[in-house]
Amino acid sequence: MAEAPLTAAPLTIAPLTIAVVGAGAWGSALAHVCCGPQKNSGDRVLLWGRDAELVATLNARHENPAYLPGIPLAEAIEATDSLADLAAAGLCLLVVPAQALREVAGELAGVLQPDVPVVLCAKGIEAESGKLMTEVAAEVLPGRPLAVLSGPTFAAEVARGLPTAVTLASGDRDLAARLAVTLGSRSFRPYLSDDPLGAEIAGAVKNVLAIACGIVAGRALGDNARAALITRGLAEMSRLVLARGGKPETLMGLAGLGDLTLTCTATQSRNYSFGVALGRGDDVAAAIAASRGVVEGRFSAAATLAMARTFDVELPICAAVDAVVNHGAALDETIAALLARPFKAEGFSA
């Protein structure tokens, strides 16, 4: 059956004020998407960041030299370090790291209007509570309509206008469709999903698996091993998503297989590069210090395992990553233990 084209109106006919909260690489790229050369909506885009010096640079140079050096950003982006400036926003994209989301969203609670849609763009699980980003946002931003933006995205490529497809997931199909029309362009193409839970779990687990794939590369274990790890990692991801009530089609889509493949095969991925450093012999502290940003998979490893235990799901690859990055397990012994596991039938129930 052919897919029906998406038909929906944008969030508002009048120009919209879009708040992008988080001035890292991904936040800056999304701000550019919202008002870049392919958008003719006239929407106002406010990009918030804590670093006043970076904010001043963004406004003066229309570039983010700390996270996207050499990539020009839309001159229409207005950067600010004051959350109060976001009070007029009709749409909010939350793009801060997963472990900072509760704090920043809590500060936004008294700023955003109660009916403003919030799109969660961070991939991860809150380490302290084990909650997904939608669960955290529902607690600290009650009543706001929520959606999840996920999929195979490197910020630098998005900011350069290279073709990118993403998953836009929400339990409210009308909201997701209107968000897709508001945010989408010729090169930034949202595909709708009604499974935000599956998209979130996939986005968190793929970061853990990317560390494992990086270790395989750093240890020079070969392309066969990496392909096997991606495939068996997808099986682990699938078991957890299905146990939580997510949908199998999410796993075969952009938020599942698409994001997993990208993150597990490219050095642009912080989690993959972190794993490569570990595989080459760096200790965890040195690998973290060398990272270009937050290695979210390190936090998600422990939180993923805690969730898996609650739902009685076995995740041997994720467990191995957690043992290495959070508990000091020796790399060679951990790999040997994985290879010594009993032979099993292939399938998500294996």
pLDDT score for 101:
97
pLDDT score for 244:
96
pLDDT score for 279:
96
pLDDT score for 349:
53
- Amino acid sitting at position 332: D
Question: Token pair of 45, please?
Answer: 């885009």
pLDDT score for 294:
85
pLDDT score for 300:
95
pTM: 0.92
| Ramachandran area for residue 62 (φ above 0: left; ψ -120 to 50: alpha; else beta) | left
Query: CB-side exposure of 24: number of CA atoms within 13 Å?
Result: 16
Please name the residues in contact with 70: beta carbons below 8 A apart, sequence gap of 6 or more. Answer: 63
Closest among 79, 26, 29 to 56, alpha carbons compared: 79
According to DSSP, residue 64 is labeled: B
Query: Rounded distance, CA 270 to CA 291, Å?
Result: 6
DSSP codes of every residue in 289-346:
HH-SS--HHHHHHHHHHHHHHHTT---HHHHHHHHHHHH---HHHHHHHHHTSPP--S
CA distances from 45 to 6, 79, 156, 216, 350 (A): 24, 8, 19, 41, 48
Catalytic residue among 131, 206, 247, 344: 206
According to DSSP, residue 50 is labeled: S
Q: Show pLDDT as tens, one digit a residue, over the chain (350 residues).
A: 456 566 666 665 457 999 999 999 999 999 999 987 777 678 899 999 999 999 999 999 999 999 999 999 999 999 999 999 999 999 999 999 999 999 999 999 999 999 999 999 999 999 999 999 999 999 999 999 999 999 999 999 999 999 999 999 999 999 999 999 999 999 999 999 999 999 999 999 999 999 999 999 999 999 999 999 999 999 999 999 999 999 999 999 999 999 999 999 998 999 999 999 999 999 999 999 988 778 999 999 999 999 999 999 999 999 999 999 999 999 999 999 998 888 887 755 54
Query: What is the biggest distance separating any 2 CA atoms in the chain, rounded to whole angstroms?
Result: 62
Question: Token pair of 207, please?
Answer: 């970061």
Q: In the annotation, is 206 catalytic? A: yes
Query: CB-side exposure of 146: number of CA atoms within 13 Å?
Result: 21
Catalogue all structural domains in the chain, each as residue range(s) with its CATH number.
17-194 (3.40.50.720), 197-339 (1.10.1040.10)
pLDDT score for 165:
98
Q: Which residues pair with 112 in a beta bridge?
A: none
Residue 258, Cβ neighbours under 10 Å: how many? 21
According to DSSP, residue 48 is labeled: E
pLDDT score for 344:
80
Question: Token pair of 69, please?
Answer: 């050096």
pLDDT score for 6:
61
